[in-house]
Amino acid sequence: MDHTATFPTILTKRLRLRQFEPRDDVGLHACLGDEKLVRFWDFSACESIAETKRWVRVLAKTTSAYDSLAWAVADASTDECIGMVNYHHREARYRRLEIGYILNAKWHGRGLMSEAVQALMTHCVDHLKTRRIAAIIHPQNAASIRLVGRLGFELEGGPLRDYWRVGSTYMSPMLYSFIAS
């Protein structure tokens, strides 16, 4: 699929995964500005909406879609941005990549991110011909571990020692993977 020509919008029962737009700054800030939400990520919370606006601009770019791409996760009925999914570190010749995801806490516990990640996985397998999808997850991130477990990922290894640096702290996450058959 030529990502530069047409952004690969993905529709699910309750969600629209689409390209980021400037109006998504408030919705994304509810995710990236929430310290409790990003505490298990390789990322410090955005301290201002200006910082999140910069992320919206970065995430909206499709110029590096061969290696990475992000989708705004929008409520299908209102098109409000409530989260983000992405793939990154794609190695096309090995048919592998890694995924990431975050959802506004107000929307947790309804299976929405399972729905979004399942759709992202289908896109990666069907359109990018991906075989191996990895998720690198902090060992205390119980919701994320539960989510990937339900979608067929298996714990492969870890802790990956000092794999992430957040500020002056290093974190040692676990490696989960899904193999498309």
Report if residue 113 touches ligand COA, rule: CB under 6 A.
Answer: yes
According to CB under 6 A, which one of 20, 55, 71, 101 is a site residue for ligand COA?
101
User: Residues 166-171: contacts with CB within 8 Å, 24+ apart?
Assistant: 166/41, 166/42, 166/43, 166/44, 167/44, 171/42, 171/138
| Helix, strand, coil percent values for the chain (each to nearest 5) | 30, 30, 40
User: Which region among 56-64, 67-75, 139-147, 162-170 touches ligand COA (by CB under 6 A)?
Assistant: 139-147
Task: Report the site for ligand COA in 11-70 (rule: CB under 6 A).
Answer: 37, 40-41
* Tokens at 14, concatenated: 């309750």
According to CB under 6 A, which one of 121, 128, 147, 171 is a site residue for ligand COA?
147
According to CB under 6 A, which one of 146, 165, 170, 179 is a site residue for ligand COA?
146
According to CB under 6 A, which one of 12, 68, 86, 114 is a site residue for ligand COA?
114
In the complex with ligand COA, the residue whose CB is nearer, 23 or 149, is 149
Omega prior to 159 cis, within 30 of 0:
yes
Report if residue 1 touches ligand COA, rule: CB under 6 A.
Answer: no
CB of 178 to ligand COA, least distance (A): 13
Q: Where are the alpha helices (DSSP H) in 79-175?
A: 112-127, 142-150
DSSP type of residue 43: S
How far apart (Å, rounded) are the C-alpha atoms in residues 151 and 47? 33
Report if residue 84 touches ligand COA, rule: CB under 6 A.
Answer: no
Angle at CA of residue 7, ends 5 and 12, nearest 5°: 150
Closest CA to 14 of 151, 119, 122, 105: 119
Report if residue 86 touches ligand COA, rule: CB under 6 A.
Answer: no
In the complex with ligand COA, the residue whose CB is nearer, 109 or 157, is 109
Show Cβ contacts of residue 80 under 8 Å, excluding neighbours closer than 6 positions. 27, 74
User: Which region among 5-13, 66-74, 109-117, 156-164 touches ligand COA (by CB under 6 A)?
Assistant: 109-117
Residues in the site for ligand COA, rule: CB under 6 A? 37, 40-41, 100-103, 108-114, 135, 137, 141-144, 146-147, 150
